[in-house]
Amino acid sequence: AQSVTQLDSQVPVFEEAPVELRCNYSSSVSVYLFWYVQYPNQGLQLLLKYLSGSTLVESINGFEAEFNKSQTSFHLRKPSVHISDTAEYFCAVSESGGGADGLTFGKGTHLIIQP
């Protein structure tokens, strides 16, 4: 079974400042990793994913995440945030071999962008 820890429930950041949302996972086997974003009153949208290959993955709107196997982390970063990035961000993990648990979500981090 796998687990995900998002260390910060809330992260306030000023507009145009950089941000890092932290995600650590636990699994005894190889994993897939995902970041989802949820805007108010909407469903979850896949922001980016790591399945295999390059450990640095990027999204179309400037976010990136790096898979670090030794630190079991998949932190999300953006060099300069915008007001429209205000949302809830969920990290998720699954076993790449198709384990019994499917996707396991972290508790989420609320990113608050201050003008």
Partner 1 sequence: DTEVTQTPKHLVMGMTNKKSLKCEQHMGHRAMYWYKQKAKKPPELMFVYSYEKLSINESVPSRFSPECPNSSLLNLHLHALQPEDSALYLCASSLKWGRELFFGEGSRLTVL
42 by Cβ neighbours in 10 Å (0-12 / 13-18 / 19+) ranks as exposed
Task: Report 24-53 residues binding partner 1 (CB under 8 A).
Answer: 32, 34, 36, 41-46, 49
- Residue from 14, 102, 112, 114 touching partner 1 (CB under 8 A): that is 102
**Beta carbons within 8 Å of 42's beta carbon, 6+ residues apart:** none
Question: Which residue lies nearer to partner 1 by CB, 22 or 105?
Answer: 105
Phi and psi angles of residue 83, each rounded to the nearest 5 degrees, phi first: -50, -35
Which structure tokens are listed for 64? 């990136």
Contact track, partner 1, 65-94, x by CB under 8 A = -----------------------x-x---x
Q: Where do contacts with partner 1 occur on this chain (CB under 8 A)? A: 32, 34, 36, 41-46, 49, 88, 90, 94-99, 102-103, 105-108, 110
